[in-house]
Chain A
Amino acid sequence: MSRLWPDGESISVQTDDAGRPLRFTWRSHTYLLAQIQQHWQVDADWWSEAGRIWRDYVAVTTTDGLLCVIYQDLLSENWFLSKLYD
């Protein structure tokens, strides 16, 4: 069961050559990814005046035991923390 940031928590992510996240920094703390559990893409609201939502979601576990969902906004290429399981 999770915490959800509806507007996304801004994070900085370091990726490998293939674009897979390796680590992310959130609130001055860097988390090393242990495993990518799941990866999916959402492309929604392309018809909406508010704008298209086009995101790459990744559910990850970190080396210090966190389980969270981060996503990259494919329009802005920024990364965000969406959910943190607790």
Chain B
Amino acid sequence: MSVLCCRIPHFLTVLACRRQPAWTGRPLALVGPDDRIWAVSPAAQQDGVQAQMRPQQAQVYCPDVLLRDLDLDASQQAQADMLATAAQWDLPVEPLTWGALYVDLHLVGKSAASVRPLAAELGQRLRVTGGNALQPALGWDSGKFTAHAAAMQVMPGRVRLVDKVDEVRFLKPLPVTLLPLPPLHLQQLHWLGVRTVGQFAALPAAAVWQRFGAAGKRAHRWAQGKDDRPVRSAAPEEAGVTTVTLDPPTGLLAPVVAGVMASLHPTLAQWAKTLTGLRHLRLTLDFIANADQSLDLTFVEPASQSARVQAALVQHLTTLTWPGAVQAVRWQALATGELLAPQPTLFDLPDVRQDTPAVVSASLAGRYGDVLLRSQVVEPGHPIAERRSHFHALSAV
């Protein structure tokens, strides 16, 4: 195999600054439709602002941060332009995330010497398409993971070519956080003292599999330079249709979402084991006595967590006009893609959570026992004030 990875660092914020030059150099965070930070400029990153934060939290870290809505249309157009440029040689091109893609070069060359001219030409073409502000960084190797790691290591405007014989040596010192393992697994590795890809690769395969499951086993192979995943083009894949019947038919959102997610969850879990996620989901709602309506959920960054897919589903369904009760929903996964590595920190991503009192109490109950309570108004009209309400321990709920 011969894989070239192209990535344009800070793709979204650079695009935004190109449209609004006054933002250049300032701490900027772009907020997506889910009210979370989707992209962070280097200046904001330095102050600790990270993707997936809520805007309020970003402001806590960086009071001067510019919070702006992400222009999704313009971003998707720029992404499409980048993919089109890379596809000019009629080679398989697979989108990775915003401003990043893979190109399969096995028909062109399998050595660094043979690939170098093509990599340079692609880099130049992308610069012409995107402009000087969108400088790509290129990495090449026989496998996707190493090619991606090489592209992340190199400066924009440069290419890093990793020959097969150099793979293990190249990967060895890199941080283990490059592997797309769940944050909990990365934390466990951190506690075990495993900080580099080389240290992870040196662990016994059976132990990794037992501890971290199929996803860990796969990541272990990648860490050893054994990544045989093909580059898949962005064309839709053939996928079966799954039908969820709603009995009785309903005009309510909750049962529709619950039914679809119950059906989808096992598939998402299965994909997660292979470090793959959902990229394109087509839903068709079958209304009683009305025409079907279809909608497409697309994820530039593949999603494997049910919560994220559910949030997208809810958001889409609430913007749809429902002409009647839904009697069935058909879903079809049209495209999947590889999961990306989480944040490069081994610590939990700080987040403004939205826990319930019971969740908060449960995490503190061991230390504080029954001092955490919930209250309830039971007799609002009682003549004796202290009888109108009472407290009860949350642990008893």
- Assess whether B291 is interfacial by the CB under 8 Å rule: no
Instruction: Determine the distance from Cα of A4 to Cα of B386 in the docked complex, in whole angstroms.
Output: 7
Q: List chain B residues, Cβ under 8 A from A53.
A: 384
Number of interface residues of A (CB under 8 A): 10
Contact yes or no, A42 B383, CB < 8 A: yes
**Cβ contact within 8 Å between B383 and A44:** yes
Task: Verify B383–A82 contact, CB threshold 8 A.
Answer: no
Pairs across A and B, CB under 8 Å, 14 listed: A4-B385, A4-B386, A6-B386, A7-B386, A42-B383, A42-B384, A44-B383, A44-B384, A53-B384, A55-B384, A69-B385, A82-B385, A82-B386, A83-B385
Give me 8 other A-B pairs in contact (C-beta within 8 A), A7-B386, A42-B384, A44-B383 excluded.
A4-B385, A4-B386, A6-B386, A42-B383, A44-B384, A53-B384, A55-B384, A82-B385
Give the distance in Å from the alpha carbon of A42 to the alpha carbon of B388 in the complex: 14
Which B residues form the contact surface with A (CB < 8 A)? 383-386
Name the distance in Å between A41's Cβ and chain B's nearest Cβ: 9
Q: Nearest 9 CB-CB pairs, A to B?
A: A6-B386, A42-B383, A4-B385, A42-B384, A44-B384, A82-B385, A4-B386, A53-B384, A44-B383
Query: Which positions in A face B, CB cutoff 8 Å?
Result: 4, 6-7, 42, 44, 53, 55, 69, 82-83
Q: Which residues on the A side are within 8 Å of B384 (C-beta)?
A: 42, 44, 53, 55
Give the shortest distance, in Å, between A58 (CB) and chain B (any CB). Answer: 13
Q: In the complex, which residues of chain B have a beta carbon less than 8 angstroms from the beta carbon of A83?
A: 385
**A4 — which chain B residues lie within 8 A by C-beta?**
385-386
Return B121 CB to nearest CB of chain A, in Å. Answer: 72
Q: How far is the CB of A8 from the nearest CB of chain B, in Å?
A: 9
Residues from chain A with Cβ under 8 Å of B386 in the complex: 4, 6-7, 82
Contacts of A42 in B (CB 8 A): 383-384
Q: Cα distance A53–B383 when bound, in Å?
A: 11
The residues of B that contact A44 with a CB separation of less than 8 Å are 383-384
Chain B: minimal CB distance from A75 (Å) = 14
Residues of A near B383 (CB, < 8 A) are 42, 44
Tell me the bound Cα distance from A46 to B383 in angstroms.
14
Residue of A nearest to B388 (CB): A4
Tell me the complex Cα distance, A7–B385, Å: 11
- Could you tell me the distance between the alpha carbons of A53 and B384 in the complex, rounded to whole angstroms? 9
* A69 CA to B383 CA, complexed, in Å: 13
Q: Which residues of B contact A55 (CB under 8 A)?
A: 384
Q: List the B side residues contacting A69 at CB < 8 Å.
A: 385
What residues on A are CB-neighbors of B385 within 8 Å? 4, 69, 82-83
Chain B residue at minimum C-beta to C-beta distance from A42: B383
- What's the minimum C-beta distance from A82 to chain B, rounded to whole angstroms? 6
Which chain B residues border A82 with CB–CB below 8 Å? 385-386
With the chains together, A44 CA to B388 CA distance in Å?
A: 14
Q: How far is the CA of A21 from the CA of B136 in the complex (A)?
A: 84
CB distance from A80 to the nearest CB of B (A): 11
CA distance A69 to B384 in the complex (A): 12
Q: Complex: how many Å from CA A53 to CA B382?
A: 13
Least CB separation from A5: chain B residue: B386
Determine the distance from Cα of A48 to Cα of B56 in the docked complex, in whole angstroms.
Answer: 53
Closest to A6 in B: B386
* Complex Cα–Cα for A40 and B386 (A): 16
Chain A residue at smallest Cβ distance from B383: A42
Least CB distance from A70 to B in Å reads 12
Minimum Cβ distance to chain A for residue B385 (Å): 6
Chain B nearest CB: distance from A37 CB in Å?
Answer: 15
Complex Cα gap A6–B384 (Å): 9
Closest CB of chain B to A29's CB: distance in Å?
Answer: 23
Q: Write the nearest CB–CB distance from A4 to chain B, whole angstroms.
A: 6
Question: Nearest Cβ distance between residue B110 and chain A, in whole angstroms?
Answer: 76
Closest beta carbon of chain B to A56's beta carbon, Å: 12
Q: Please give me the residue from chain B that is nearest to A40 by CB atom.
A: B383
